[in-house]
Amino acid sequence: MASNTNHKMLFIVNPVAGRAHPKNKLTHAVKLFKSHGYSVTMKKTASKGHATELVIKHGTNYDIIVCNGGDGTLNEVISGVMNLDRKVTIGYIPSGTTNDFASSLNLSDKTETAAMTILTGQPRTVDIGLFGEKRYFSYIASFGAFTGSSYSTPQSYKNVIGHLAYVLDGMRDIPNIRPHHVCVEVDGQTYEDDYLFGAVSNSISIGGLLKLDSNKVNLNDGLFEIILIKNPKTPLDLSRMLLSIRKKEYTDKSIQLIKASEATFYMDEVIPWSIDGEYEPGANKVRIQNISNAISIIV
């Protein structure tokens, strides 16, 4: 973006996200923004959902909203922007534990580099997911194996050992992993089976556990990547499936990878979901829709 004399920036900071950036680095970022002609208002989040409230309350008074935090904080900012009368461009300085969405957009987790991207980059539009009637997500809604570890791992634990915290906490889940009987309707087709894991994603990285081919994932094509992993029947099925995941091929018969703009999930029991790493109680019937080119973010 060119010089922005008198342009107004709302800078939302989550002070407890992931590897919270040192105060002096954020101060430096603010100075950088000001030297490029922005008048900056910084607001710190105090609780869950606070970023959404800040955006809804103040967002339309600003030309750009910059978010410093993890995927959950960005989710709250995006949810706020989706509720505004006019769409305000978003800038992102990631400081979370996994930063899945940032890695899909190729954004640096170094404060200064990310700040310079906001000043010199270009806005691009990105699809957003709508889970049910009013819960938005920027990159993933998932259920089943390892889903719980994203929202149940204590923040302090995530901060200290970073991404490994998710993996280790997920490992603890293994004895408790059991399949869920799910029926999924996609584009007039029905997929029904016992699934260990399911995800509706707009990202090349899923919790750092699954990686999709970046050449095959487009963040603004109006389509999700829907991944369904069946319960392996034998140890051989399991080893084949794990090899397929490791090779990023997803060709194994126990893995279904579907591209679609919408999906409806029917579940025998209500099981929790993870929305951008945060808890969602779920329902017996869940409709998930892609809102094409819904937000503009600087990359």
The mean pLDDT of 182-199, rounded to a whole number, is 93
Over the chain, what is the mean pLDDT? 82
Q: State whether 22 and 166 are in the same domain.
A: no
The mean pLDDT of 47-70, rounded to a whole number, is 95
In this predicted structure, which of 150-154, 230-234, 253-257 has the lowest mean pLDDT? Answer: 150-154
**Which CATH number covers residue 69?**
3.40.50.10330
Q: State whether 150 and 239 are in the same domain.
A: yes
Q: Is 2 part of any domain?
A: no
In this predicted structure, which of 146-150, 210-214, 231-235, 249-253 has the lowest mean pLDDT? Answer: 146-150
Q: State whether 111 and 176 are in the same domain.
A: no
Selection from 137, 139, 169, 172 nearest residue 154 by Cα: 169
pLDDT on residue 202: 86
Distance CA 2, CA 56 (A): 27
Q: Which of 121, 147, 165 is the last residue of a domain?
A: 121
Please state the pTM of the whole predicted model: 0.82
The mean pLDDT of 52-77, rounded to a whole number, is 94
Domain count, the chain: 2
Span 121-177, pLDDT tens digits: 999 999 999 999 989 998 889 888 756 545 455 555 444 444 444 444 544 555 556
- Best mean pLDDT range from 22-31, 158-167, 236-245: 22-31
Helical spans, DSSP H, in 191-298: 235-246
Q: State whether 273 and 197 are in the same domain.
A: yes
Q: State whether 209 and 173 are in the same domain.
A: yes
Helix and strand numbers (H, E) in the chain are: 9, 17
pLDDT on residue 90: 97
Structure letter (DSSP) for residue 155: H
The mean pLDDT of 33-46, rounded to a whole number, is 95
Strands 262-267 and 285-298: antiparallel
- 58 pLDDT band (50/70/90 cuts)? very high
Strand ranges for the chain from DSSP E: 7-13, 38-44, 64-69, 89-94, 123-131, 135-137, 140-144, 180-186, 189-201, 205-206, 210-211, 224-230, 255-260, 262-267, 273-275, 278-280, 285-298
Q: Which of 63, 94, 121 is the last residue of a domain?
A: 121
The mean pLDDT of 21-36, rounded to a whole number, is 84
SS3 state of residue 176 = helix
pLDDT > 90 in the chain, percent:
46
Residue 38, domain extent: 7-121
Q: Which of 74, 91, 121 is the last residue of a domain?
A: 121
Span 81-121, pLDDT tens digits: 999 999 899 999 998 766 677 777 888 888 999 999 999 99
The mean pLDDT of 198-226, rounded to a whole number, is 74
The mean pLDDT of 262-272, rounded to a whole number, is 94
Angle CA 238–272–204, to nearest 5: 60
SS3 state of residue 13 = strand
Greater model confidence, 34 or 71: 34
Q: Is 1 part of any domain?
A: no
pLDDT on residue 155: 52
